Structure 1
């Protein structure tokens, strides 16, 4: 079982529940030392290292190996799963995050990703493009 920190489309249940097959407890959390940026011509973000920055997101607790494999597939080549320390309201915990795979630096649009815009309009577009993860 692994804790998975999410900061983009997977923070939203309509996306998360299409990828994983089980239900997990979640908590608001923060990833220090990273910034969330747009991906060129996409509705989803990427996390890149950045001093004095942080990303607010959702931590899913005790994700089973089958669902981690599904998440690995979903995230694709742009991302790699790396170990990080996540800050919670009552302390810190070790977890995994899908951050930019450095060989894909060219896909980063350094504008901040807008969570609210994704929630209002981007998620619909995203779900239309990624229906294959319903199985």
Structure 2
């Protein structure tokens, strides 16, 4: 019994080639799980829980973000600095980056005095466009 070019079975019925979808779905779900696990890890930055308030959305500009965590540590764009280093370097960072504004985001448990010292240092550096970051009331993270 000769095969006719391998396209037909011995009984004369055509062979069908099916794609096994189970393997494809397994790979897709595996990739989905990997992305779900790694996505929160890739969101770097200083972990701060900002206070809630009725706020307007921030403009999409490239502003400098100064962060203050719950223990009073100061960060310029995720780089930790002391208050003295902040006073000495913020003007240079602001002019080098060429941004119009500086946003201060402080953890709600941060000492008010530290936030006030940071804002005073920004004023002493003659940076006039300073904004405070708050989280909208309805989108509170837990």
TM over 0.5: no
- Compute the TM-score of the two structures, normalised by the length of structure 2: 0.26
- Compute the TM-score of the two structures, normalised by the length of structure 1: 0.27
Compare CA radii of gyration and give the structure with the larger one. Answer: 2
